Structure 1
Amino acid sequence: MTGLGAIAPRQFAVTTRAYMAVDDASGEPIGLDDVDTRVGWLLDLIAAAGGELVSRLWHPATFDVLAAGLDRQDRRLPTQGHVAAARLGWNPIYPDGVYVPSRVSRVVTGQVLATLRTLAYRDTAITALSARFDPATGVLAPPTESGAFVPSGFVRGVRRQLIARARRGLGAPAGRLRITDVQGPPQMSAMAQLSAADRQLAQLAVTGDELVLTVKLPTSPTPGGRAQWRSVRLSAAIPAHLHCRAIIDWHLPTLVLDHRGLLWRCAATELVPANDLASAAVAVGVDWSPRTLGAAAITADHPEGLVSDYRGWTYDDRGLGVKLARLQTEGQLLHAKAARLTRLAATAPPEVRAQLEAKIAVLDAHREAVGAKRRKINRELAFHFARQATDYAVDAQAQLIAVEDLTTLETRGHGRVNNNRAAQSARRQAVDALAHTAGEVGIAVVSVPARGSSAQCPSCDEPLARPGGYHTAWCACCRVGGNRDHLAGVNLAKRALLGRNKATRRRGQMPAIRVAEHAPVRKCRDKNTPTPSRPRHRRVRRSLPTLTPRSGVTPKRHVPAPQASVWDTVKPAPPHGDTGSRDTRPSPTPATPVADSMRSP
C-alpha cells in the first residue's frame, strides 16, 4: 500500500565486530583471539566440506536438476538451499572421527546450493554458445532463436574460455559443451552463513544498543563429540548511525575472518517511506561518465509535456578517481611481475626457485594490500556519490532517480586503458549505495535502458553533433545542447517518467524499465535545478592604508592578508567517518519548491 505517509519494510546490510565474549555455560570471559581461533576452525570445517560437496556434484546431471527445479518426486524444489539439498540427498562428508552438528551441515549445503544455482545460468549460456562456436576461427555464429539472448560481456568471457579450450588441443566437442567441460569446480569461501541454521546453533538478541550472538563453536580443529562444541556469547555494539533508524528486525549474521579478526555481516529490516512510481512527476537521471563517476540532470512531467532546463550536475570525486587509476596500474604491474617470476621459477634450479618463490610471496602481499586500498576507496567513493546525488534529488523535490542498466552498459571506443578503467569503476557499488541512501527519504531508484542516452537528442530523438569534442553535444534542429552527460541524464529521466507504469520488479532487485519510450522534452526557461553552493574567495586587502605617522611614535607594522588562490574555493573534505558512509543525513528540503516553478516556454 502506497500513499501519503505510507511506509514499507526493506532490508539492508551492516558490518560490526564483537568487543566481548563469554562462555554461555559458565559465564567466564573468553579472549577475542581465542574466539578468532575457534571461528577459524569452524570456517575450515565448512570450507572443506563445501569444497568436497561441490567437487562431488560437479557433473552435468546436477545442473540439469537445478535447471528443471524438480526433485525425484517431481516436486518443486524449495527456495531454502539446505531444504532442497536434503530432498535431493546432497549431504556433506566429513573426515573420520570428526563430529559436526547437523545445523552446521545445513550451513554447508545452503552455501553450496547458492553457488550451484548461480552457476546454473552460466551452464545454460555455455551450452547455447558452444553450439554456435567455431573452434577453427574462434567466431560465434549469430543466434537463430529469439529467446537465446546473452549479455555481450558474458558472451566475451565464454568465448575466451572456448578459445582457450580449443588452443589446448581438445578440439571440437561431439555435442554441446557444459560448464563442467570448460572450467573446474569453484573454490568455496571460508564463511558461515548462520541464516540457514536455527536456535540450536545460533541465536541473535538485541539488548539496547547491543547485539548478542550466541553460537556454538568447536574447541579443537577436529572435534570428536558433542562435548567439544560449546556455546559462546558474543556482544557487539550497533553502529551509532543506526540508533535513530526504525529497525524492526535483526537477522542472523554471516561470520568471516579478515586481517582484523572476526567480522559480522548482519542484515536488518527497517521501515522507510514508501515510494509510488506511478505518482512520480519529477525524475533525476544519473549518467555514468568515463571521466568521473557520474552526472545528473532533471526532467519534470508538466501538464503540457516533459520539460527540462538542460542544466545538470557533475559529481566531483575529489581526486579519488586519479588515485584509483594509479592503484589499478600498480596492481597490474605487480601481477605481471609475479606472473613472470612464476614462469621463471618453473624451470629454475631448486635454490633459485626458493628465492623466486619468496619474491612472489612479497609481490602477492603487496598486490593484496593494493586491492584492499582500492576496495576502501571504492566504497568511500560510492557512498559519497550516493549522498551527493540524493541531496541533489531532494533539493529538486524529485520522486524518482533513473540509472543506466549496467547489464546492457558496455564501455568501448575510448582506448584499451580508458575502457579498462571505466569497466573497473565502482558503478555497481554506487548503484547499491544510491538505492540505499535514496530509500531513506522515499525516493525510488529504477534502471532504464542505456543505449543511445548520450547520442540522441532528448527532444527530437535524432543523433547529436559533437562540435566541441567528445564531452559536448548539440542538436541544430532543437537548438539544445551542452555537456553530453547532462543531456544523457535528461534522456534517462525521460525514459523513467514515460515507463514508470511499466516497471518490472524482481525479488532482491530494484525496479527496471525494459523499453525506452520517446517523447519530446521541451527546454524550460525557468530554473529548475538546485543551485550548488559555491564558497567565495576570502577578502584580500590589496593596498596599505595611507596614514601619516606621528613624530616620536614607532609606527605599527602592517602585514597584508594572504593572497587568495584557487584552493580557497574548494570545499574541505568531510571529517573521517562521515565521508562515504551512511552516517550523513540528507540535507533539508528547501522551502521554495522547484518542480512547481516549471513553465512551458
Structure 2
Amino acid sequence: MTVAGFTVPRQFSFTTRPYAAVDDATDTSIGLDTIDLRVRWMLNLISCAESELVSRLWHPATFDVLAAGRDGSDRKLPMQGHVAAARLGWHPSYPTGVYVPSRVTRVVTSQTVGTLRTLAYRDTAIGSLAARFDPVTGRLAPPTAAGECVPAGFTRGVVRQLRARFRRAGDASHERLRITDVQRPPRTSVMARLSAADKQLSQIAVTDAVLTLTVKLPTNPAPAGRAQWQRVRLIAAIPPHLHTRAITDWHLPTLVLDHRGLLLRCAATESVPAPDLTSGSTAVGVDWSPATLGAAAIVTERQDGLVSDYRGFTYDDRGLGIKLARLQAEGQHLHRKAARLTRLAATAPPEVRAELEGKIAVLDAHRAAVGVKRGKINRELAFHFGREVTDYATAAGATVIGVEDLTTLETRGHGRVNNNRAAQSARRKAVDALAHTAAGVGVTVVSVPARGTSALCPGCNDTLSRPGGYHRAWCPRCNVGGNRDHVAGVNLAKRALLGRSKVVHKRGKNPEIRVTAHAPVRQCRDKTSPTPSRPRHRRVRRSVPTATPQAGVNQKKIVPAPRASVWDTVKPAPASHVVTGSREVPTSPASAASVADSMRFK
C-alpha cells in the first residue's frame, strides 16, 4: 500500500528521429542518408544472426530448458537474456571474415532469448491442449487442472493447427506435440535494442530538450576489423509534451528503420503521484462497446450506500472507427486477392507465374501500407480515448478507473463482420494508453470481471430487460435504466469500489480485481458526474438573405456561394462587412509563398 502525497517511478516510451549526425572522432557532419545506410548494415548483421540462432535452437530441448529455468549446473537462469545465453552456450554465428563487437552480440542473444522465452509458454500450452485433443471428433476434453486453462482465442488457433496436422498425417498418434511440430521458426523483427549493451556500444545524454545518442556503427556492410566500427553522435529533439514532466532517467533506445528513415524508440522514467485505492470514494467504470470504443459511468460511495445518476459518457471517436473499418475491409480484400493469385501461380506456366508473382508482391506492399496506416490510427484513437476518460475521471474526483478484463472478454453474437471488426479494435492499446495517461494525475486503472456487467441490474442484480432493443436496458423492479453501455459502466465502477481492498498486483500488468461483489446502487437525482465538454460546430446557413441596396448605388448581381460543409468552424465575420457566403473572402489573396512561410514555423 502506498501513501498519498508521495511519488513513485514509472517508465514510459516515446519516439523521435535524429535531425543531425556528427562523427565522434573528427566532429564532421554526416548526412542522414549515410546514417540510415550504416544503421541498415548493422541491423542486417543483427537480423541475420538472430534468425540463424533461432533456427538452430528450434527443437524441444531448448524449450525444456527455458521452461525449467535451470542451466546444466542446476543454477537458476538470470533474467538478462545475454547472460542466460552465455551460460547455456548459445552463441550466434556471422559470415566468415566479418567482425562484430561483443556488445552487438549481446544485443543478438538478448533479443533471441526474449523471443524463445515468449514461445516457451506456447510450447507448454500446445502440449497440454494436444494431450486433451481427440482427433476423431476434433474437440478438446475439459481440463482437469487449473494449469491447463488457456485463453479461448489461443485454444481455437491451436485446435485448428491440430486438426490440420492430423488431417495431413492421417493417423491418431497420441505422442506429445511441441511447438516445433506445428509451426516453423518465427520471423524476427529487424531492430537493435541498445539497452542490452553497455557504454562500450552506446551512450545517451539529454541537455536542453536535446537528446544525443552516441553509438558505434559499421562503415561498410561487411566490417573486417575493429577500425571499421566508428562512433557517431545522433542528435534528436525531445517531443514538446515531455518538456514539463518530471523525468528522472533516460534509457537507451531501440533502433528501427521505416519508410522515413531511422526511428529511435526511446524510454524514460518519470515521477508520478503514488496511487492510493483506499482514499477516494468515487470510481469510473469503462465499458467496451461494439458501437464505439467505450463508454464510462460514475459511482460514488456515501454513508447511505452507493449512488449514481446513471448518466454516462459515450466516447466520440471523431469518425476514426469508420475509417478503421474501411481500411480493415480493404486489407482483407487485398489478402483474399493475393491468396487467389498464389493458388493460381502454383500451377501456372513459368512466364505466367513470374507475372503473377509480381502482382502478388504489389498486393503485399499495399496490404502492408494499409496495416501501417491502421496502426497509426489505432494509436491516435487509443491516446485520445485515454485523455478523454482521464479528464472525465479527474473532473468527477475519481481515484480509480475500472475497465473490463480483456482476457475474459470475447465478441460474439453480432455477426461475422461485426465480430471480426470488434475483435480487431484497439482495446489493448486503449487500456495501456488510459493507464499511462491516468497515472500522470494519480488515478489507478484496475481490471475487473466483465461477466454480467451489461446484463445485470446494478441495484438488484437481476437480469435486465431490453424494451428498446439491444442498446437499451431497463429494470422494472428498481425502475432504473438507460443506455446499455452506461449501465455496464455503473456495474464496473461498483465492482471497482467494492473490490479495491482485494487488488492483485502482477508485474508488468495493471492491478486486477478478481472477486465480484454486489451492493445496491440507487439512482440519485443529484448531478454526480461532470458534463463532458464536446466541440460544437457552427452550422452554416444554406441560404443567405438578399442585402438591401443603398440609395443611389447600382445593385450588383449577387452570386450565391457554394454549399459549405456543416462542420465548418470558421468564426463569423464582423457586422461591418457584407458576407455573401459561408466564408469571408479577403480583398487581396495571400500568395503561396506567404502562406507557406506562415505555416512553416507553427
Amino acid at match of 2:269: T
Q: Is the 8 A contact 1:499 1:517 kept in 2?
A: yes
CA offsets per residue over residues 307-365 of structure 1, 9 Å max, x none?
11111010111111111111111110111001111111111111111211111111112
1:578 aligns to what?
Answer: none
2:102 aligns to what?
Answer: 102
- Go from structure 1 to structure 2 and tell me whether the alpha carbon gap of 1:542 and 1:374 turns closer, same or farther (over 3 Å shift): closer
Q: Is the 8 A contact 1:203 1:214 kept in 2?
A: yes
2:82 aligns to what?
Answer: 82
- Go from structure 1 to structure 2 and tell me whether the alpha carbon gap of 1:564 and 1:521 turns closer, same or farther (over 3 Å shift): farther
Tell me the CA shift for residue 174 of structure 1.
3.9
Q: Is the 8 A contact 2:540 2:568 kept in 1?
A: no
Distance in 1 (CA, whole Å) between partners of 2:245 and 2:225 is 43
Tell me the CA shift for residue 184 of structure 1.
1.2
Amino acid at match of 2:356: L
1:514-553 residue pairs with structure 2 within 5 A? 514-533=514-533, 535=536
Q: Is the 8 A contact 2:4 2:275 kept in 1?
A: no
SS in 2 for 1:339: helix
Distance in 2 (CA, whole Å) between partners of 1:173 and 1:276 is 54
1:584 aligns to what?
Answer: none
2:185 aligns to what?
Answer: 185
Amino acid at match of 2:460: C
Amino acid at match of 2:353: R
Distance in 2 (CA, whole Å) between partners of 1:543 and 1:124 is 72
Tell me the CA shift for residue 173 of structure 1.
3.1
Amino acid at match of 2:406: L
- Go from structure 1 to structure 2 and tell me whether the alpha carbon gap of 1:204 and 1:466 turns closer, same or farther (over 3 Å shift): same
- Go from structure 1 to structure 2 and tell me whether the alpha carbon gap of 1:349 and 1:568 turns closer, same or farther (over 3 Å shift): closer
Tell me the CA shift for residue 544 of structure 1.
8.1
Q: Is the 8 A contact 1:165 1:171 kept in 2?
A: no
SS in 1 for 2:94: coil
Amino acid at match of 2:140: L
Distance in 1 (CA, whole Å) between partners of 2:562 and 2:360 is 51
Q: TM-score, normalised by structure 1?
A: 0.90
1:379 aligns to what?
Answer: 379
Distance in 1 (CA, whole Å) between partners of 2:553 and 2:227 is 90
Corresponding position: 1:312 with 2:303: no
- Go from structure 1 to structure 2 and tell me whether the alpha carbon gap of 1:553 and 1:217 turns closer, same or farther (over 3 Å shift): closer
Q: Is the 8 A contact 1:218 1:228 kept in 2?
A: yes
1:496 aligns to what?
Answer: 496
- Go from structure 1 to structure 2 and tell me whether the alpha carbon gap of 1:567 and 1:52 turns closer, same or farther (over 3 Å shift): same
Amino acid at match of 1:271: S
Tell me the CA shift for residue 171 of structure 1.
3.0
Tell me the CA shift for residue 172 of structure 1.
2.9
Distance in 1 (CA, whole Å) between partners of 2:555 and 2:522 is 63
Distance in 1 (CA, whole Å) between partners of 2:176 and 2:529 is 55
SS in 2 for 1:407: helix
Amino acid at match of 1:123: D
Tell me the CA shift for residue 564 of structure 1.
12
1:15-54 residue pairs with structure 2 within 5 A? 15-54=15-54
Runs of 5+ consecutive residues of structure 1 not aligned to the other structure: 573-601
1:52-91 residue pairs with structure 2 within 5 A? 52-91=52-91
1:282 aligns to what?
Answer: 282
Q: Is the 8 A contact 2:67 2:120 kept in 1?
A: yes
1:225 aligns to what?
Answer: 225
2:478 aligns to what?
Answer: 478
- Go from structure 1 to structure 2 and tell me whether the alpha carbon gap of 1:67 and 1:570 turns closer, same or farther (over 3 Å shift): farther
1:415 aligns to what?
Answer: 415
- Go from structure 1 to structure 2 and tell me whether the alpha carbon gap of 1:301 and 1:539 turns closer, same or farther (over 3 Å shift): same
Tell me the CA shift for residue 21 of structure 1.
1.0
CA offsets per residue over residues 343-394 of structure 1, 9 Å max, x none?
1111111111121111111111211121122111111111111111111111
1:248-397 residue pairs with structure 2 within 5 A? 248-397=248-397
Amino acid at match of 1:506: K
Q: Is the 8 A contact 1:246 1:270 kept in 2?
A: yes
CA offsets per residue over residues 232-276 of structure 1, 9 Å max, x none?
111111111111111110000000110011110000001111111
Q: Is the 8 A contact 1:65 1:71 kept in 2?
A: yes
1:160 aligns to what?
Answer: 160
2:586 aligns to what?
Answer: none
Distance in 2 (CA, whole Å) between partners of 1:52 and 1:401 is 45
1:424 aligns to what?
Answer: 424
Tell me the CA shift for residue 146 of structure 1.
3.3
Distance in 1 (CA, whole Å) between partners of 2:316 and 2:133 is 44
SS in 2 for 1:277: coil
Which deviates further from its counterpart, 9-18 or 502-511?
Answer: 502-511
- Go from structure 1 to structure 2 and tell me whether the alpha carbon gap of 1:303 and 1:357 turns closer, same or farther (over 3 Å shift): same
RMSD of aligned residue pairs (Cα, Å): 2.6
Distance in 2 (CA, whole Å) between partners of 1:440 and 1:508 is 17
Which deviates further from its counterpart, 85-94 or 250-259?
Answer: 85-94
Distance in 2 (CA, whole Å) between partners of 1:29 and 1:541 is 58
Runs of 5+ consecutive residues of structure 2 not aligned to the other structure: 572-602
Amino acid at match of 2:206: V
1:213 aligns to what?
Answer: 213
Distance in 2 (CA, whole Å) between partners of 1:259 and 1:542 is 47
CA offsets per residue over residues 35-56 of structure 1, 9 Å max, x none?
1111111111111111111111
Amino acid at match of 1:532: P
- Go from structure 1 to structure 2 and tell me whether the alpha carbon gap of 1:165 and 1:35 turns closer, same or farther (over 3 Å shift): same
Amino acid at match of 1:340: R
CA offsets per residue over residues 186-215 of structure 1, 9 Å max, x none?
111110001010011111111221111111
Distance in 1 (CA, whole Å) between partners of 2:506 and 2:386 is 22
Aligned residue pairs total 570
SS in 1 for 2:108: helix
1:5 aligns to what?
Answer: 5
Amino acid at match of 1:467: P
CA offsets per residue over residues 169-191 of structure 1, 9 Å max, x none?
25333422111111111111110
Distance in 1 (CA, whole Å) between partners of 2:545 and 2:183 is 78
2:196 aligns to what?
Answer: 196
Tell me the CA shift for residue 545 of structure 1.
12
Tell me the CA shift for residue 527 of structure 1.
0.9
Q: Is the 8 A contact 1:280 1:497 kept in 2?
A: no
Tell me the CA shift for residue 280 of structure 1.
2.8
Q: Is the 8 A contact 1:405 1:447 kept in 2?
A: yes
Amino acid at match of 1:27: D
1:131 aligns to what?
Answer: 131
Tell me the CA shift for residue 3 of structure 1.
3.4
Tell me the CA shift for residue 88 of structure 1.
1.2
Distance in 2 (CA, whole Å) between partners of 1:503 and 1:147 is 22
SS in 1 for 2:103: helix
Could you tell me the percent identity over the aligned residues?
70
CA offsets per residue over residues 54-92 of structure 1, 9 Å max, x none?
111111111111111112222211111111111111111
- Go from structure 1 to structure 2 and tell me whether the alpha carbon gap of 1:557 and 1:532 turns closer, same or farther (over 3 Å shift): farther
Distance in 2 (CA, whole Å) between partners of 1:325 and 1:68 is 44
- Go from structure 1 to structure 2 and tell me whether the alpha carbon gap of 1:213 and 1:453 turns closer, same or farther (over 3 Å shift): same
Amino acid at match of 1:118: T
